[in-house]
Amino acid sequence: MFNRTNITEGMIVRSLDGERLGKVIGLSGDSFLIEKGYFFVKDYRVLYSDVRDIGDGEIVLAISKEGFSTSARREPLRSVSTATETTTTATGPRLGERVEKSVEKAKERRTGEGWSDEVRIPLHHEELAWSKNEQAAGEVHIHKSVVEEQKTVTVPLRREKVRVEHRPLTKDRPLGGMAFQEESVVMPLRAEEAELSKRQIADEEVVIHKDAVEEQRSYSGTVMREKIDIEEEGSVRAARSDPTFDPTRRRS
């Protein structure tokens, strides 16, 4: 058996089959008020006799969600005056005054500054941000090798050769004693030969630079954003300030 004093405002109310029905927003002598819904909030009166159990900050009723919705005595309290009039007729003006204050208090809690027809819902979205980090992109190997090639040089060389010149003698020149004798004369000839040698000469130097270049690259990612779907009850249609709003769309 539960104790009525254990029921306080703000407790969650669930049906027998575990469905959430709302939260407690006011207490009276034989019943308490629960607030049901978010965008289109309605208040319902629940009798203490419908409570089955209380535990862990939640109230479990002895009726199912379907039975709660179809019960005639749980017609939603449309306004403060209707709630006050109904309660006053059933239990007297003193209880009605308490219910009226509970309803007003619940409405103030909904809007923060008293009863208002405006509900503000913040919507968020994600954007892509980027950061850079350095990583190895490759390396360059530089190898200096030795190759052989054939080159030809032209060298001016001198050599001696024989040139024979015949000169006539005068008739009055006397003949020597060597006439009619065999004779051999040796004349050495000289010639230059080239000898090749090699020497090392520095031609040039190779300077290798590593430069930083900047390029544009595109990256894609998945981001989230929030949107709302409005479900209307009755024949009232509110003006939409969002040009992308589709009035035929319904929240599932």
For the segment 124-136, the average pLDDT, to the nearest whole number, is 87
Pairing status of strand 42-47 against strand 31-36: antiparallel
What global pTM score does this model have?
A: 0.33
In the chain, where the domains are located: 4-111
Report the C-alpha gap between 69 and 76 in whole angstroms. 10
The domain 4-111: what is its CATH number?
Answer: 2.30.30.240
Average pLDDT value for the chain: 76
Residue 149 has pLDDT above 60, yes or no: yes
What is the C-alpha end-to-end distance of the chain, expressed in Å? 39
Q: Which residues pair with 34 in a beta bridge?
A: 24, 44
